[in-house]
Structure 1
């Protein structure tokens, strides 16, 4: 019987054999190789998905807890470290500073070398930074606290990209909006715990530094959990593991080996790959879709405005309502309550109905209302924070759920999430510095000018949300407005991935990278100016 059946390579490529009589050994080897793309299961086992979900969401617990402990401690830090508002802004934005460029490098590293190695490196940096920052409380040292926050920043944002890639991989077949919403929900719960416990941890003993040491302990526990995920993910079958650029680059060599084996020849000693083969191919930047560049370039300061308000709201409430630090901390923490429930529901809404960009404008309108009520009126702060929590539930999720649709290639997803984080973090540094300076030059150190700046930024975003919806219909085939079920049908028919918005364009890439470079330079100049 002639052996004309194709053989499967280690990366799923099919190679037609030229020999007519395959021996028994070859047949055995073929049967042990990974299944063809068409033979793979339609989805991953539920038990695997649940483990990946739990571990992926937990990756950033430590960094999130350590970062959000600062807001209610602003007055304490100013007193104990003897600093002004601008220097406090330097501390609160320190983790964002190093992440003005690092997320791009880190994101591409995750795409090329794999999420598992990247998440381990991030967890180690977060733990070391948290320990150094906490050590600064023992000596009341502004320099140590700031240095620790900077080191923590080397991992805090890139590890969020790890979570995004993990969820996008294991839930690529269904439920992506739901799990992103769940991730946001749990993240808000960590923020709630951090803000609510900051002052009690400070007052538990005579040493205020426990408010920094306890988050450092949480970061260590997070590191142990990450070690577990590393070992578990690396033990999965090859077909279930996440694609990496390095693995794809080795594909041609593997196919050559299998071709030689199928022809009955032993693999010859081939030349060793050049030393620079392990380096990144940054030409991948030119393959980023134009629609993603348009969105990220028009969202420069928006994430910083929300983050800046979240860091300042406890002090705003204390100053405008005369509340104690502890009551202000509890009140500001209410902002995290509704997202715990609403974020997964909103993610499911995106999966079942769509309308992602519409919520950008809706969220902006909610934030404008919140800023005006908390800054220009004396209504009960608790009610305002409940409204703010609704805005928090809707703020980032429309973009998180849309980016994998704008950039469907899994091996580019870490890079684009890195670009997104780099823009957001650069904008956060700029907003923190502007807010601190505006407060310092305002008579009485009040927040009127800061709030007016926040309102102006969100008014611009309200218009942008409507603009995105129009462009989505014109250039992406309404992929951001449709349900997951309808999208899958159109993707199988090949009607979506070939849209204009999914294609790269040199002018969009050049403008995006130039704008990012300018924003990074501005962020660093402002940070150095107000931290020295």
Structure 2
């Protein structure tokens, strides 16, 4: 169970009878500053990282992610084409998508721990090389029209994606504290990523039809990945120069020194993640999985419900799914300044739920169009808020890579289960989405329920309520964060460690369950 329910007032009152927590916080900040001064004394050239260097790092990482986002938009846009060209059914297509999810659930946790140890720049370098090899294999599989070969290519591609997904956000976390640029950075990167996904998804069927060979779409994606490797090499050099030249950043609220890599593996800290982190994971478990599976199937859904060609369906769904790219950077700025992360999660959950209800209960053209429009806006509020909430919930930034890896593992494990179930249901329903959409509604409803509970309990628990704090509140109440951190690990340490370990074991069972679903697909011949 989480810590005893408290309020800011209660904490403030207790602090009056204890050892001046505010002074303690000021001492911690002074220590962080002294550490930086000490480093500067040893090397006078080491100063705080200038804003222009931080902005340059954001743009370079965003350019690196552009290619992978491009590739992610392709497969979903060409679902009907891939099924036709490779002569596979919906269950087999679901297994193709689940193959990548399977590799993520197998290795992502290890990748997160390793990234925390070696740093994001090193991980993103080898990750992109591997991702490019996989994209070339996928293009080759499309060229020879081999389903098995394509599964193999997707697996190799997933190995690279595993490394890059964690690495880019780990880099951001080492340069920007919560409420001081982290959310804004996420928003900009995700906004650029939406542009890449839009370009990939909207152009996929156009390239396929105009060139007469659907494999050319994958060759173009492979070319984009070669571009990202050039950017990655440049960023690796850029990061090494920055690390030598500048001192590390300190969190203005708590005084914590932010790091890109650790001196050792922090397995114990990974097993002691705060219960607030697991609460955010509960929301992500349902909402993100709904969004990912729905996005993968949206183009084919548009073809059926709107009665249009694959090219037009690709354009329609690209616009509604990624047209809100300009909202995400603005949302990031809002979160950094005004907080209210849990409220935004509730808005996201309600919007996605309404969209899924329209898909399920209004199968006409108007209902499908309205669903796409609502989803386009609602989903923009999800990814950046979830990732920033994860970062804000942690007591220790040094394990952010591992924490984010858990998030990806949970989502991909859930994706495997949902993909296989939806594939089987769609095949049993003559390729219709009438039955599958019920699954979408159920998952979205669960995300709404979790978000409501989070907002309600935030009124009674300060650990959860700090996700709602504005920038000014977080800086002013930084001593409360340090107090709660100490209490979490000492006074309530045994109970909190037990809760975290139970949650971690639950993730393992979810992963094992997803593997059972994946291997069921293999055993029943659905990958033939």
Is the counterpart of residue 300 in structure 1 residue 316 in structure 2? no
Correspondence list, 1:31-430, <5 A:
33-34=42-43, 44-172=49-177, 174-238=180-244, 239-240=246-247, 243=259, 246-247=262-263, 280-297=265-282, 299-377=284-362, 378-380=364-366, 381-430=368-417
Is the counterpart of residue 457 in structure 1 residue 443 in structure 2? yes
Q: In 2, Cα distance between the equivalents of 1:426 and 1:126?
A: 20
Q: In 1, Cα distance between the equivalents of 2:349 and 2:309?
A: 30
Higher Rg of the two aligned structures: 1
Runs of 4+ in structure 1 over 4 Å off: 11-15, 500-504
Q: Quote how far apart the aligned CAs of 1:436 are.
A: 0.8
Would you say the 8 A contact 2:111–2:405 is kept in 1? yes
Q: Kindly provide the CA deviation profile for residues 437-465 of structure 1, in whole angstroms up to 9, marking residues without a partner as x.
A: 111122x3211221111111111211211
Q: Quote how far apart the aligned CAs of 1:182 are.
A: 1.5
Q: In 1, Cα distance between the equivalents of 2:277 and 2:218?
A: 38
1:517 matched to which residue of 2? 508
- Quick one: structure 1 residues 244 and 53, their matched pair in 2 at CA, closer, same or farther if it must change by over 3 Å? closer
> TM (normalized to structure 2)?
0.84
Q: In 1, Cα distance between the equivalents of 2:276 and 2:218?
A: 41
- Report which stretch shifted further, 393-402 or 283-292: 283-292
1:528 matched to which residue of 2? 519
RMSD: 2.5
- Quick one: structure 1 residues 472 and 160, their matched pair in 2 at CA, closer, same or farther if it must change by over 3 Å? farther
- Quick one: structure 1 residues 233 and 62, their matched pair in 2 at CA, closer, same or farther if it must change by over 3 Å? same
Q: Quote how far apart the aligned CAs of 1:197 are.
A: 0.5
Q: In 2, Cα distance between the equivalents of 1:529 and 1:477?
A: 39
Q: In 1, Cα distance between the equivalents of 2:450 and 2:488?
A: 20
1:447 matched to which residue of 2? 433
Q: In 1, Cα distance between the equivalents of 2:327 and 2:136?
A: 34
Would you say the 8 A contact 2:306–2:365 is kept in 1? no
What is the DSSP-based 3-state SS (H/G/I as helix, E as strand, rest coil) of the residue aligned with 2:458?
helix
Correspondence list, 1:487-506, <5 A:
487-491=474-478, 494-499=479-484, 503=489, 505-506=496-497
Q: Quote how far apart the aligned CAs of 1:66 are.
A: 1.3
Q: In 1, Cα distance between the equivalents of 2:197 and 2:73?
A: 6
Q: Which runs of no fewer than 5 residues in structure 1 stay unpaired?
A: 1-7, 16-29, 250-279
- Quick one: structure 1 residues 421 and 379, their matched pair in 2 at CA, closer, same or farther if it must change by over 3 Å? same
- Quick one: structure 1 residues 507 and 311, their matched pair in 2 at CA, closer, same or farther if it must change by over 3 Å? same
Q: Quote how far apart the aligned CAs of 1:164 are.
A: 1.2
Would you say the 8 A contact 2:202–2:318 is kept in 1? yes
- Report which stretch shifted further, 226-235 or 203-212: 203-212
Q: In 1, Cα distance between the equivalents of 2:351 and 2:144?
A: 42
Q: Which runs of no fewer than 5 residues in structure 2 stay unpaired?
A: 1-30, 249-257
What is the DSSP-based 3-state SS (H/G/I as helix, E as strand, rest coil) of the residue aligned with 1:60?
helix
Would you say the 8 A contact 2:266–2:399 is kept in 1? no
Q: In 1, Cα distance between the equivalents of 2:361 and 2:272?
A: 46
> TM (normalized to structure 1)?
0.83
Q: In 2, Cα distance between the equivalents of 1:527 and 1:245?
A: 34
- Report which stretch shifted further, 463-472 or 131-140: 463-472
Count of residue correspondences: 471
Would you say the 8 A contact 1:245–1:411 is kept in 2? yes
